[in-house]
Amino acid sequence: MIFSPALIAYRLLTRLIEPLAPRLLDARVKQGKEDPQRVDERLGLAGVARPAGPLIWIHGVSVGEALSILPLAERIRKERPDVTVLVTTGTLTSAQILAKRLPPGVIHQFAPVDSPGAVAAFLDHWRPTVGVFVESELWPNLLMAAKKRGTALALVSARITDKTAEGWKKAPGMARALMATFAHVWPQDQASADRLTSLGARVDGQVNLKLSGEPLPYDQGEFGRLSALIDDRPVVVAASTHEHEEMAIVGALDHLADRLFLIVVPRHPDRADEIARSLAQDGYSFARRSQRQPITDQTDIYLADTLGELGLFMRLADVVVMGGSFAPALGGGAVGGHNPLEPARLGKPVVTGPDASNWAAVTRMLKSSGGLISVLSPSELPSVVGPLLADPDAARDMGERGRRAAAEAAAGLDRLWLALQAHLPAAPSRGRR
């Protein structure tokens, strides 16, 4: 066992402050940051019974990580129906999204806080055979206790920045001890592989679960209904937008094409009132989806202020402009962009702003394939989006090139599933009928 004064201090401190956990969680409930009906799950108290048999536990904190695990969960359930899949997340939004998206038979729970008692209660109940941590969630008590109980742990799609790596180097023994808990480490890119190796990880290879996803789901009935209302109008979707981006994109695309229909999908729908006020002040005719406002021939903009329907809106698009990539150019904080593979998998031409740092490798791949174009600011959008709307054949060709590139990049899931199976007991014989 690796000796680490920092790890010893962390475990001692979390034990000392553990009695405060219920009070802190109550405060978070009042702030709307925890589900009051399920807050006990954060203390390791399970909301459902554990099914018999082997169990694979997959943990991802936020929406992006949670969605990236869906292909893995689906593969497990398809090929090993005897294996229970437990997914844990840490945010309300991720839980709301997963409630609509998890495959049948997959259990969701909120992750326990990283205190010894909560961790012990969680592990005592669920007894995971395999634990998969997505991206960079390194909770010392949880990892050490799971390893001690014999759970085979894997760090998948690991992404670590220079800043984070430098922080861990201030406690090198703790970093090595945590890396030693993992039977497998699969970073999502070479830069993360190098940083994790410097912290003591034994890297197996590269896997990025976000490259392995299935096309976003959609409601076929709603697609037909909205398609009929939009008719033959050209459609641009501004996807997963952030503060300052909506009005900049709307202004840039205003009057770009005759009867242009712009669908704005804010990343955080709770900002919809603010966006609606800005649209009204600038004189735009718009309809809000959350309020079921009707689309008419006079509707310029559809404010799609709902969760879990991005697949529907992207399928309606002729061109998709990715939000979260323009914020720094507009004086806002860096967001790093959002997943351009989502529209690419649907064969849609993709346009991003200058800040796609969270998706740099994916952006380069799609750009080199000819399926994505980057611009420096919203003011450049007309010079890119306009020609695509004017030439549907060119837009379809661009979208198809991106779709092929996305499909070729999805092989990492096969390698991951093959390795995880080695830690599972043999599948029960189905016998003969």
Amino acid symbol at 50: R
Render the burial of 26-46: b for 16+ CB within 10 Å, e for the rest.
Answer: eeeeeeeebbeeebbbbbbeb
367: which 2 tokens?
A: 């750009």
Beta strand ranges found along 60-111 (DSSP E): 84-89, 106-110
Contact 116, 18 (CB under 8 A): yes
159: which 2 tokens?
A: 């992404």
Residue among 18, 34, 41, 65 flagged as catalytic: 65
Q: How far is CA 301 from CA 236, 253, 307, in A?
A: 10, 11, 18
365: which 2 tokens?
A: 């791949």
- Strand 106-110 to strand 130-134: parallel, antiparallel, or no bridges (unpaired)? unpaired
Residues with Cβ within 8 Å of residue 422, at least 6 apart in sequence: none
Let me know if 74 is a catalytic residue.
Answer: no
What percent of the residues of the chain are helix, what percent strand, and what percent coil, each to the nearest 5?
Answer: 50, 15, 35
Is residue 221 classed exposed, middle or buried when 0-12, 13-18 and 19+ CB atoms within 10 A define those classes? exposed
Outline where 310-391 has alpha helix (H).
310-316, 341-345, 360-369, 381-390
Residues with Cβ within 8 Å of residue 286, at least 6 apart in sequence: 276, 279, 280, 299, 300, 301, 302, 303
Is residue 179 classed exposed, middle or buried when 0-12, 13-18 and 19+ CB atoms within 10 A define those classes? buried
- Sign of the C-alpha dihedral, residues 266, 271, 272, 274? negative
Residues with Cβ within 8 Å of residue 34, at least 6 apart in sequence: 25, 28, 42, 92, 110
Q: Which residues form the catalytic set? A: 65
